[in-house]
A and B are shown apart, each in its own frame.
Chain A
């Protein structure tokens, strides 16, 4: 609608001349935001009167009751209640935590039980192996060194580790910040030294180690398994100025065995 016509309509309304149809038009214009309630004189005045209407104030009883309620709620909040325990917003995170704990418990319990009998269904055995592998790989990601140690020891229960598992163990050996976890990884890798790839990676790992304990453990393993290709790497450690004298002696002994 043109501005001119809107103005005329407002004037008619303000002069008490607006018909029912025109009032309907005003409503449409109000809804569309084309006119404002303040432009309608009577309506604006009446709205102002409503706004200035004074009502009595609440008595002190309201304050007493409110502060009593608040004190009670504070008391309830600070003490345990079954009702609160089972109220959904409180219960939901507890239930979620309990479920996760239960699942982890069942998973670990399942993995810790004695290995399945030889005549067990091969499909089931396969599933168990896959499950162990999955748990082991996820435990290796944990921040806690104890969890990672648990992961490494899980491989001992595996009849044949996949390349994924040996890869994860080698990764742990090369990059885990905890010496104990790295030592456990060396132990866990022992059964797979026949695998050329694992053997080569172990030899490469010697140079990457900065812990004397891990260096000695690797040297002893190389000697025990007669991995002659490791001599070069071991000699580098012996020649390094940063290697402690005791470690040099132990590694030299391993080299002697290998030569």
Chain B
């Protein structure tokens, strides 16, 4: 990234190739809308390019990138608050038909249920779990992204997983 900052823009291509999938996955975990995810990933790289001079090189690039990704996600949902309610309603409908989901990604039943449970979590809890997944459980780095201590991140992850467990069990009863 330091090379990109110094003007070697071709190096951003390497970073894009390395991180487009985890970034897409992060947004997919948050939105479940593949088309929108591509827009959001593009937006993250646009910001990286535009604000490359702000990268100090003190920390990990991935941490800086997810910090931007988080802001992009928040900005998107702030701008589209009115649409969010509608899309959530659509999700609820979609969640009702298991067949749709089964054919969508051909996941096994357990994973499908987990995916449904994830969607029912509040945004902040879904976000912390996605960060934990894509930051490989590096809680210190996650703390840098969301602005809290490592210990506080662990508690947040614990609470999110606790709730996920409850939602999961609730969904299990209805199957």
The listed residue (A27, A37, A62) touching B24 by CB distance below 8 A is: A62
Residues of B within 8 A of A62 (CB): 20, 24, 38, 41-42
Report chain A residues within 8 Å CB of B95: none
Residues A46 and B164 in contact in the complex (CB < 8 Å), given A27-B155, A70-B13: yes
Interface of B is mostly: helix
Q: Total interface residues on A, using CB and 8 Å?
A: 35
State A46–B7 Cα separation when bound (angstroms): 43
Is there a chain A Cβ closer than 8 Å to B157's Cβ?
yes
- Tell me whether A241 is interfacial, beta carbon within 8 Å: no
Please indicate the chain A residues that have their CB under 8 angstroms from the CB of B7 in the complex: 77
Distance A63 CA – B168 CA, assembled complex (angstroms):
35
The interface-forming segment of A47-55, A132-140, A187-195 is: A47-55
A210 on the B face (CB < 8 A):
no
Q: Which residue of A53, A58, A77 contacts B21 across the interface (Cβ within 8 Å)?
A: A58
State A51–B10 Cα separation when bound (angstroms): 31
Instruction: Report the interface size class on chain B.
Output: 35 or more
Q: Which of B57-65, B66-74, B84-92, B107-115 contacts A (4 or more CB under 8 A)?
A: B107-115
Residue of A nearest to B13 (CB): A70
Question: Does B2 lie at the interface of the complex (its beta carbon under 8 Å from any beta carbon of A)?
Answer: no
Question: Chain B contacts of A67 at CB under 8 A?
Answer: 13
Which of B114, B154, B161 lies in contact with A53, CB distance below 8 A? Answer: B114
- Which residue of B is nearest A43, CB measured? B161
User: With A61-B38, A62-B38, A66-B45 in contact, is A23–B162 under 8 Å at CB?
Assistant: yes
Contacts of B28 in A (CB 8 A): 55-56
In the complex, the answer to whether B41 meets A30 with C-beta atoms within 8 Å is no
- Check B118 against A43 for contact (C-beta < 8 Å): no
B105 and A54 contacting across the interface, CB-CB below 8 Å: yes
Q: Is A32's CB within 8 Å of the partner chain B?
A: yes
Q: Are B45 and A51 in contact (CB under 8 A)?
A: no
- The answer to whether B132 touches A50, judged by C-beta atoms less than 8 angstroms apart, is yes
A43 vs B162: C-alpha distance when bound (angstroms) = 7
**Which one, B133, B151, B161, contacts A33 given CB within 8 A?**
B151
Q: Is the CB of A51 within 8 A of B133?
A: yes
Known: A54-B107, A62-B42, A69-B45. A43 touches B158 (CB 8 A): yes
Contacts of A74 in B (CB 8 A): 9
Whole-angstrom CA separation of A50 from B151 in the bound complex? 20
Contact between B159 and A27, CB atoms less than 8 A apart: yes
Taking a contact as CB atoms under 8 Å apart, the answer to whether A59 and B38 are in contact is yes
The distance from the CB of A1 to the nearest CB of chain B, in whole angstroms, is: 15
For the complex, is B49 an interface residue (Cβ under 8 Å from A)?
yes
A-B pairs, 5 with minimum CB distance? A31-B151, A55-B25, A55-B28, A58-B24, A62-B38
Tell me the A residues contacting B by CB distance below 8 Å: 23, 26-27, 30-33, 37, 40, 42-43, 46-47, 49-51, 53-59, 61-63, 65-67, 69-70, 73-74, 77, 89
Show 9 A/B contacts (Cβ-Cβ < 8 Å), sorted by A. Answer: A30-B151, A30-B155, A31-B151, A33-B151, A43-B158, A50-B118, A58-B37, A73-B49, A89-B53
